[in-house]
Amino acid sequence: MVEKAEKCRIAALNQHASMTFEQKQEFCQKIKDGRANAVANGKHPGHFVKHSEEAKEKMRNSHKGLQVGKNNPFYGHNHTFENRKAKSIIMSGITEEEWKGFTKRRRFKERRNINWREFIFNRDNYTCQICGKRGCNLNSHHIKSWKNYPKLRFDTTNGISLCVECHNMTKGKEERFEQLFNKIIVDKNMESD
């Protein structure tokens, strides 16, 4: 069943690449309507889960007596430098030798990231490459993730313009959309040559 659904999804994505602007909008609207109907009918996975009375009681009991705010014994305590450093190293996925101290997250304000985004938007004509919307809020999406492929972070073939809705639709499913996005990029490069 899952394999069949995956094959259908891949076929739909391949078909989507050759659609006109109007067809893409209709396609995306059908997907959104289908999700809305599934949620309304209580069939959407993960939404509106009906819990048994026993499960509800367990959840209620687990929340009783929580020590929140000033009642929490750790309220006002600060972590030591060593603990914060260890957590930083673990969360960054690096070794202690590679750790360069605490830094502020400025990756989106870096000049080369701004240049990369502008190139992606210009190449894609400020248009979402899934639904075809133009002039809306756009995100520059890394086809291969920022975290797992640091050498491709500023590679212009690793980026695509998506509207906020389509970007949210692809989050966590990057590998599924990678083939479609790469096909769109190749087609764009062939058009420009």
pLDDT of residue 119: 92
Q: In the chain, what percentage of residues exceed pLDDT 70?
A: 69
Instruction: Show the domain range for 176.
Output: 111-193
| Alpha-carbon span 10 to 141, nearest angstrom | 20
Q: Residue 93 in 3-state DSSP? A: coil
In a domain, 181, yes or no: yes
For helices 174-192 and 2-17, the axis angle rounded to 10 degrees is 20
In a domain, 14, yes or no: no
Number of domains observed in the structure of the chain: 1
In a domain, 67, yes or no: no
In a domain, 106, yes or no: no
Q: In the chain, what percentage of residues exceed pLDDT 90?
A: 5
In a domain, 61, yes or no: no
In a domain, 149, yes or no: yes
In a domain, 128, yes or no: yes
pLDDT of residue 56: 85
**Model's pTM, two decimal places?**
0.48
Is 67 buried (19+), middle (13-18) or exposed (0-12) by CB count in 10 A? exposed
pLDDT exceeds cutoff 80 at 23? no
In a domain, 69, yes or no: no
What are 41-62's pLDDT values in tens digits? 655 555 556 788 998 888 877 7
Beta-carbon contacts of residue 138 (< 8 Å; ≥ 6 apart): 121, 126, 128, 161, 162, 163, 164
What average pLDDT does the structure give for the chain? 77
